[in-house]
A and B are shown apart, each in its own frame.
Chain A
């Protein structure tokens, strides 16, 4: 158990809909990262928040948005869903703002299925 929690574990929805994925980081961690992993694909970095502020952006679509709240939990909002958005979405947290020694701890993921 990494200490990172994600809800829900599974989500099934229809095209065009909007969903919200939630992540609670490990106690004491200030950074939250979001990743997308499609079937047989690698981990695609989406976005990072550090202490409530956006820190880095990766390949995140305009239909997706995220935020980190004062209690440091984070939400990833996915809107106008398409079939291709079906994937595992992972949240990770780290102690600091990033860098090669700032170990990321991953949650169990949310499996999103868009029908």
Chain B
């Protein structure tokens, strides 16, 4: 049963790099890891997805070690507008293989 664990909250300051780590000890062999961002009163927004090693896009980087039991979302040089909740997702197979949202990590960026 795949399940994710991530910190409930994190604080940072503008300009810093933020790393949010998620553990998913029971991830299935073929599953990808997906991260979403949610601002208050808005729907979640897809940030990045990866299977192994490193994935980078214009918003973030995703680092996945060889054992794939964890992943780290890296946000370079955060700004106040990066204050949001960040969700790490893997499929939960007792829920039909759906991406079930957990509690997420509430990131607060301060000036």
Interface of chain A residues 54 through 73 with chain B (CB within 8 A) = 55-58
**Is B98 a contact of A103 with CB atoms below 8 Å?**
no
* CB of B61, distance to nearest CB on chain A (Å): 18
Interface of chain B residues 73 through 101 with chain A (CB within 8 A) = 87, 90-91, 95-101
**Majority secondary structure, B binding face:** loop
User: How far, in angstroms, from A101 to B32 measured CA to CA in the complex?
Assistant: 6
* CB of B62, distance to nearest CB on chain A (Å): 13
B side interface size, CB within 8 A? 25
Knowing A2-B43, A100-B32, A111-B41 are in contact, say whether A42-B98 is a contact too (CB < 8 A): no
* CB of A107, distance to nearest CB on chain B (Å): 6
21 pairs, CB–CB < 8 Å, chain A vs chain B: A4-B43, A35-B101, A42-B101, A42-B103, A45-B95, A56-B97, A58-B95, A92-B43, A98-B97, A99-B97, A100-B31, A100-B32, A100-B33, A100-B34, A100-B91, A103-B34, A106-B43, A106-B45, A107-B43, A108-B42, A111-B41
A residues contacting B by CB (< 8 A) are 2, 4, 35, 42-43, 45, 48, 55-58, 88, 90, 92, 98-101, 103-109, 111
